[in-house]
Amino acid sequence: MASAKILVVDDDPAIRTLISRFLSQRGYAVSEAGDGQSAWETFQSLDPDLVILDINLPDTLGYALCEQMQASKDTYILMLTSRADATDKVRGFSQGADDYLTKPFDIIELEHRVQAILRRRRSPAATPQTPVQNFTCGALTIDSMRHAVSIHGEPISLTALEFNLLYFLATHADKVWRRAELIQAVWGYDYVGDQRVVDVHIGQIRRKLEALMEHQTPIKTIRGVGYIFETNPTG
């Protein structure tokens, strides 16, 4: 993990320098960008493991850049911004962000979240406890080797985190999972963010599946408890 590549994108040079120097001292390979264009160019050449991304950039919004990056590669993204409103967080998560930290922030907390995000590389599809396998439920097929999902043979575009969450629920089907349990299994035990992030990502997965499943998504909400993947969904 110490050799992970991190791209820091922020239009404030003081913040970029603070983060870059701190993470470099921790052994990470850190690159910087101050605007969307240079961030995208660096992203393509660097192929980072994690992007720390500000929302308010001089030439674009971090939301758009986040979506563009996620559509290109399975890179983890930590939003770092002064926008603390819940709707902004939901928007960030829905665009593919893995975590969200508001300014002003504690640099030690930032390090903690970076470590937690990078631990997710040990995804449910790759852990010794969950053997690599393909999964089929009706028209839904999950290919764990290629991190690919399809319905009736039609590919579904999921972010890395969305895939891991769907794969975990599917391979542990017909059991109700609480949000905290899903965070421990998919995000990692060190996740310190808002548990409502589970709801956002479940909503995104459902929206993508329902487009080709005639609203018969296998992921159901158990009110007051959590979520279940039903192998025989009834609607």
Instruction: Please report which helix (H) or strand (E) contains residue 15, including its range.
Output: helix 13-25
Which of 20-24, 122-126, 204-208, 223-227 ranks highest by mean pLDDT?
A: 20-24
pLDDT for 17-67, tens place per residue? 999 999 999 999 999 999 999 999 999 999 999 999 999 999 999 989 998
**Smallest Cα–Cα separation from 164: which of 192, 144, 134?**
144
Supply the pLDDT for residue 128.
40
pTM of the model as a whole: 0.66
Q: Which tens digits make up the pLDDT trace of 136-146?
A: 888 899 998 88
Residue 187 backbone class (left: φ over 0; alpha: ψ -120 to 50; beta: rest) = alpha
Q: What domains can be seen in the chain, in order of their start residue?
A: 5-119 (3.40.50.2300), 134-229 (1.10.10.10)
Q: What's the pLDDT tens digit per position in 150-175?
A: 998 899 988 778 888 999 999 999 99
pLDDT of res. 197: 81
